[in-house]
Amino acid sequence: MRTFNIAVIPGDGIGPEVVSEAVRVLDTAASLSQDFALNYEILDWNCTYYLQHGQMMPDNGLTILQNFDAIFLGAIGFPTVPDHVSLWGLLLPIRRTFDQYVNLRPGQLLPGVDGPLRRFHTGDLDFIIVRENTEGEYSNMGGRLREGTEHEVVIQNNVFTRYGTERIIRYAFELARTRRHKLTSATKSNGINFSMPFWDDIFHLVGKEYPDVTQELVHIDALAARFITDPDTLDVVVGSNLFGDILSDIGGAIQGGIGMAPAANINPTKQYPSMFEPVHGSAPTIVGKHLANPVGQILTAKMMVDFLGFPEIGSLISESVSATLSQEIKTPDLGGHATTDQVTNTVIQLMQQLWKKR
Ligand code: NAD
Ligand code: IPM
Ligand code: MN
């Protein structure tokens, strides 16, 4: 039996509400499997911490995190602190310092969920977004000159390195080989005339090594539309940091809502801990109302369990989520009447039942 140390950062808004539900699922998973145990350390780093301490985490926060096997995070950001301060004070430094260069965001239309696209039904959608997670448009390079004056100048640089671009595109090609052998790359090489033609060049170059994978470059505007009109034509989709971010909210919406969408920030080398957090944010307007859909966070827990090496338990979690939704146990964002914890309770019961049958 292996024991893993997990840093848990519930964060802000509905983050703590969905994280505590997903931790109950993880506890059930560990006790059923008996192949692994999880030791949690809960870290209260969030916007409240910021208001008390003037920073989102302690000075040695990243050093503390470095020693964990994984980080399990809810959401960061609340109206009490400007978003660029809270996110650049915690979430984005974790992704970058731990070189979590792959942001994986899978999407499926699960049973019992009526997506907004009436033409598509359970099983029709199965895509995964591979988002570059350390550079691109989220460069932290630039500045504001003559701030607040009529002569203000603002520069935000995009940074695309050959190393960073090549490795994310290669990761996406490798992933496509394990799925339906199709890779779609988001570009904008018509309007953005340095970084995107470069991105396309690397896509073609790496693509030569994968003749068995069908490959296409689609401009981000057209691709955003295709996520709505023909999402069943998408398998693996690779994009820069910002393009991948935007596509993953559309991906969430077409799965029934962003509360459904799981995600993982992966450092494939395992030199640093990876971080597991859903696509959605802290949803400040629904806090404390038992309305938060826990499915995105629970499926994020499944991705963590898979990553730690227990895919059988990972599928137990996802099968139990599907079975729960099939029984119409779902939160109001999906048109249901269940509370956050009622959904989780059913998931846990089904995990126990399905495990007995294995
Ligand atoms: P959001 O994802 O929090 O909310 C968008 C919409 O989806 C809202 O209507 C919200 O109520 C709904 N929603 C989100 N998650 C839900 C869930 N689990 N169940 C039911 N409904 C859900 O995005 P936003 O409003 O742009 O951002 C709010 C805050 O969260 C901001 O501070 C933002 O910066 C932050 N944020 C953090 C993360 C993260 O930490 N990973 C991700 C996105 C946004
Ligand atoms: C996400 C979020 C973050 C991002 C924000 C909160 C910085 O939107 O994880 O998708 O843009 O990466
Ligand atoms: Mn986002």
At residue 310, the pLDDT reads 98
At residue 163, the pLDDT reads 98
Token pair listed for 50: 């910021």
At residue 239, the pLDDT reads 98
What pLDDT band is residue 231 in, cutting at 50, 70 and 90?
A: very high
Which is the closest atom of ligand 1 to the Cα of 263?
41
Protein residue whose Cα sits closest to atom 6 of ligand 2: 87
The fold for domain 126-254 equals Isopropylmalate Dehydrogenase (3.40.718)
At residue 52, the pLDDT reads 98
What pLDDT band is residue 238 in, cutting at 50, 70 and 90?
A: very high
User: For domain 1-101+268-358, which CATH number applies: 1.10.1740.10, 3.40.50.1820, 3.30.70.270, 3.40.718.10?
Assistant: 3.40.718.10
Our answer on whether the CB atom of 279 is closer than 6 Å to any ligand 2 atom is: yes
What pLDDT band is residue 285 in, cutting at 50, 70 and 90?
A: very high
**Boundaries of every domain in the chain:** 1-101+268-358, 126-254
- Going from the Cα of 78 to the center of ligand 3, the distance in angstroms, rounded, reads 15
The torsion defined by the Cα of 224, 250, 261 and 49, in degrees rounded to 10, comes to 110
> Rounded to two decimals, what is the model's pTM?
0.98
List CB contacts of 22: < 8 A, sequence separation 6 or more: 72, 294, 297, 298, 300, 301, 344
- In the chain, what percentage of residues exceed pLDDT 90? 100
- The 10s digit of each residue's pLDDT in 290-334 is 999 999 999 999 999 999 999 999 999 999 999 999 999 999 999
- The 10s digit of each residue's pLDDT in 77-134 is 999 999 999 999 999 999 999 999 999 999 999 999 999 999 999 999 999 999 999 9
Protein residue whose Cα sits closest to atom 9 of ligand 2: 279
Question: Would 1-101+268-358 and 126-254 be classified into the same CATH topology?
Answer: yes
Our answer on whether the CB atom of 245 is closer than 6 Å to any ligand 2 atom is: yes
Q: How many CB atoms lie within 10 A of CB 208?
A: 8
Mean pLDDT of 145-172: 98
- Going from the Cα of 75 to the center of ligand 3, the distance in angstroms, rounded, reads 11
Please give all residues whose beta carbon lies within 6 A of any atom in ligand 1, as ranges.
Answer: 14, 18, 75-77, 83, 87, 91, 258-259, 277, 280-286, 292-293, 296, 333
At residue 254, the pLDDT reads 98
Which is the closest atom of ligand 1 to the Cα of 283?
3
